[in-house]
Structure 1
Amino acid sequence: MLDQPQAPQEWSIGRQRILQADCLTALAELPPESVDICVTSPPYNIGIAYRSYQDKLPRETYLDWMAEVGLAIERVLKPDGSFFLNVGSTGNDPWIASDVADAMTREMVLQNHIVWVKSLSVGDDTIGHFKPITSSRFLNNNHESIYHFTKDGHVAVDRLAVGVPFKDKSNIARWGHARDRRCAGNVWYLPYKTVKSRAQKFDHPAGFPVELPMRCIKLAGIEDPVVLDPFLGAGTTLVAAEQLGARGIGIEIDADYAARAAERLRQAMAAT
């Protein structure tokens, strides 16, 4: 049985604001065109044991809800804003990631599709981390998608903010580059840190590494942005926003997760 609804709470920590509320309710109360960047990862509808959300809805019910959330995000996003949607698929539902992206962004344009690689095998060696599955049909799922949406598909981004140095330094002068930096492309290798307990995951069953929202925020290339995460979870997006000096708004339906995200943010600020 799910926990009973609790009285909403709110935290203001550093430049970050955490709202303990249903995401659709909270998004409806934000001013239109007030957000520069949205980075989020919604529930995947695969039966994860969240405290205050049933993560196994009928497929069409789930996708209809995602469509509502997408429209709500589009309303609060500025004309030159960016929406980064992280979502993964499962072996027995390989289309769910693209279907969620389609449902959430019927009013927006897919500008970039980024592949987030968690683990990679090169020759006989493997780097990174993945969650193994026991199956005679499906391979281990070592990547997820990050869909970058904008309102018209013509929003400039700062490719070099998440770029890499040239391997061949002669290319710098040959092609007239101003500095030793090139676009790194749309495949990002971002491994999780090794954890040995649920506490090290901030008692949340799902999440992404801090570098993921940091890269998204940098790529958007907006000065002093307002960053939104309507499925805050363990608070990773706001930790990234605070470290980058950005203002952030996080929405989390579960009071316990929201409180833990607030504490994690305090600890991250104290450690800097």
Structure 2
Amino acid sequence: MRTNCLATRFDLHHGDCVSGMADLDADSVDVVVTSPPYNLDIDYATFRDDASREDYLEWSVRWATEVHRLLKPDGSFFLNVGASPANPLLPHQLVLALQPLFRLQNTIHWIKSVTVQPRRAPELSVGHFKPINSRRYITDCHEYVFHLTHKGDVPIDRLAVGVAYADKSNIARWAHTRGVKRDRRCRGNNWFISYETIQHRDRQRPHPATFPTKLAEMCFRLHGAREGLVGLDPFLGIGHAASAAATCGLERFIGFEIDEGYLTEARSRLGISPEI
């Protein structure tokens, strides 16, 4: 099916991603960008997010095994996962559980809110700050994006998500520019991406645990844009990764979503008729 979202072909499926991915051909996906349930008792419409730690990790290995089978040898798997102040080890336990399948090539910190003190300017606070009331914990303002690959040696396009030099004298001075006077440098692994401001959550963000479309866009661009790319999100939600795939010009995007309501919302946002 072709939609009005650039030329991306969407294959969006209602159902369990483990069995759904099993029907796809091996070595058929270039980039996976996904955010699975975090097992933090989030109130999804139908999915129970409260398994035991052992069951959650075992299930994670099962769906990630299918991702491993589908991912091309030079593919990238971007895994977004968060924690809670009372449960800080979950992201690390998850990536360790996947170590037999993937190499951790990069660790990216998605910064939701940050306060900076410029040298000659007032203190500046930006982003989405969700305070907690605690005598033990500080407010958690970031999540992880683990960049996983088969062997840890996949070339990436760092400047596709790069930033301009603050000190322009560095453009010609730094060795990694190879003498090319280009006002662009590697962004590093701290990515400040705030949620868009909304007025009505039920209408504008009808899902309890979405990531911004911009985050998925940056993952696709970091992997490197080229013709014929196929993307995948096993946990589609309301379609933010699919929207990013269209913006980045992927040829095909595959998604699975177990909740029919979320899938209907994703199709609506992408301009796909409900009956498809």
TM-score where L is the length of structure 1: 0.90
Could you tell me which of 104, 107, 124 is aligned with 2:101?
107
More divergent stretch after superposition (173-182 vs 235-244): 173-182
Residues 1:33 and 2:23 are matched in the alignment: no
Q: In the alignment, which residue of structure 1 is the partner of 2:77? A: 83
Indicate the residue corresponding to 1:164 in structure 2: 163
- Give CA deviations for 1:101-141 in whole Å, capped at 9, x if unaligned: 22234311000000110000225542100322221111111
Contact 2:225 2:248 in 1 (8 A): no
Distance 2:59 2:185 in 1: 39
How many aligned positions are there?
257
Displacement of 1:200 in angstroms is 4.3
1:192 aligned residue: 195
The structure-2 alpha-carbon separation of the partners of 1:203 and 1:127, relative to structure 1 and needing over 3 Å to count, comes to: same
Contact 2:108 2:144 in 1 (8 A): yes
Q: Secondary structure at the match of 1:116?
A: strand
Query: How far apart are 1:23 and its partner, in Å?
Result: 0.7
Q: Map 1:5-44; keep pairs closer than 5 Å.
A: 13=3, 14-44=8-38
Partners of 2:65 and 2:159 in 1: CA distance: 30
Residue matched to 1:254: 259
Alpha-carbon contact 1:161-1:219 (below 8 Å) kept: yes
- Superposed, 1:120-139 pairs within 5 Å as 120-123=114-117, 124-139=123-138
1:227 alignment partner, SS class:
strand
Q: Please say if 1:45 is aligned against 2:48.
A: no
**How far apart, in 1, do the equivalents of 2:195 and 2:205 lie?**
14
* Residues 258-269 of structure 1 mapped to structure 2, 5 A cutoff: 258-266=263-271
Per the TM alignment, residue 21 of structure 1 is displaced from its structure 2 partner at its CA by: 1.1
- Distance (Å, rounded) in 2 between the aligned partners of 1:197 and 1:45: 26
User: Residues 137 and 12 from structure 1, CA distance in 2 versus in 1: closer, same or farther, beyond 3 angstroms?
Assistant: farther
The alignment status of 1:231 with 2:230, answered yes or no, reads no
Give the partner amino acid of 1:232. L
Using the TM superposition, give the Cα deviation of residue 251 of structure 1 relative to its aligned residue in structure 2, in angstroms: 0.7
Give the letter for the 1:115 counterpart: H
Q: CA deviation at 1:196?
A: 2.4
Q: Which moved more, 1:228-237 or 1:47-56?
A: 47-56
Q: For residues 136 and 71 of structure 2, what CA distance do their matches in structure 1 show? A: 41
Is 1:216 paired with 2:219?
A: yes
Distance in 1 (alpha carbons) for counterparts of 2:190 and 2:87: 22
SS of the residue corresponding to residue 160 of structure 2 reads: helix
What letter corresponds to residue 130 of structure 1 in structure 2? Answer: F
CA distance in 2, matches of 1:103, 1:192: 30
The share of aligned pairs that are identical, in percent, is 46
* Equivalent residue number for residue 140 of structure 1: 139
- Paired with 2:43 and 2:112, the residues of 1 have a C-alpha distance of 22
Q: Structure 1: how far apart are the matches of 2:31 and 2:160? A: 15
Please tell me whether the aligned partners of residues 229 and 250 of structure 1 are also in contact (alpha carbons under 8 angstroms).
yes
Alignment RMSD, CA only?
1.6
Q: TM-score, normalised by structure 2?
A: 0.89
Looking at structure 2, the residues matched to 188 and 19 of structure 1 have their Cα atoms a distance apart, in angstroms, of 30
Corresponding residue to 1:58 among 44, 48, 52: 52
- Provide the C-alpha distance between the structure 2 equivalents of 1:82 and 1:190, rounded to a whole number of angstroms: 21
Query: Of 59, 73, 80, which aligns to 2:67?
Result: 73
Q: Structure 2: any 5+ residue segments left out of the alignment?
A: 118-122
Which protein, 1 or 2, shows the higher relative CO under an 8 Å CA cutoff with sep ≥ 6?
A: 2
SS in 2 for 1:111: strand
* Deviates most, 28-37 or 129-138: 129-138
Is there any run of 5+ residues in structure 1 with no aligned partner, and where? Answer: 1-10, 268-272
**Equivalent position SS for 2:271:** helix
Is residue 12–residue 18 contact of structure 1 (8 Å, CA) maintained in 2? no
Structure 2: which amino acid aligns with 1:187?
N
